[in-house]
Amino acid sequence: MAKARSKLGDKKVRKDHFAERAKGTGFRARSVFKLEEIDLAVGLFQRGDRVLDLGCAPGSWLQYARTKIGDGGRLVGIDRVAIAGVPGARLLVGDVFTVVPADLVGDLGAFDVVLSDMAPDTTGIRHVDQARSEALFERALELAVATLAPGGRFVGKLFQGPDMKRLVELARTRFATVRTIKPASSRQISIEQYVTAAGFKGREIIHTPAGTT
């Protein structure tokens, strides 16, 4: 574990071609290519979409979403820290665990897409980091259920761990189709996966599989 952590802290390792490519194309972070790959795989965005980005710092996912939804689309982002403005985006500073869904929606009525690239402050202790990631993913899914329009789409980052199967099954109770993707631009040593979901079933009470809550 110590060896893996030392590699994660090595700037030479972190400075890869995806980071250089992001810088060269005007995006704020290499994570933009993860969203691009997901979008190409599942057709995430449509022109005019209303998009919510949970944990939006530093803003590269908002930047990419803007290129896909056009000037007629609407963007909302929230993070614990303030970020530089993204054209046409309403940016909030706050905690996703305490934010009121109505404050995210504002005058939009609902969102067509909810995104979450949220990751915990890592400790290097695998089970602790997994548990924190699972809590963030479950909250992102809760906010998606509270704010999506019927038929809406969701993407959330989740570290592979003991609760992953339950959370994927929970997503399946709310969406018509669910799949997991590990983008090529994710670092090889990363345990992150992205759960993508489409066809939100609405906010009616839905039976959950045995063993889920």
**Residues that are catalytic:** 157
SS3 readout for 141-168:
HHHHHHHEEEEEEEEEEEECCCCHHHHH
For tokens 């896909």, the residue is: 68
Report the alpha-carbon angle 203-67-13, nearest 5: 95
Return the DSSP state at 81: S
129/190 Cα distance (integer angstroms): 12
Q: How large is the C-alpha radius of gyration of the chain?
A: 17
Show Cβ contacts of residue 118 under 8 Å, excluding neighbours closer than 6 positions: 54, 55, 96, 136, 137, 140, 156, 157
- Rounded CA-CA distance 76/128 in Å is 30
Which stretch of DSSP H or E encloses residue 66? Answer: helix 60-69
Task: Give the up-direction half-sphere exposure of residue 8: CA atoms within 13 A in the CB hemisphere.
Answer: 13
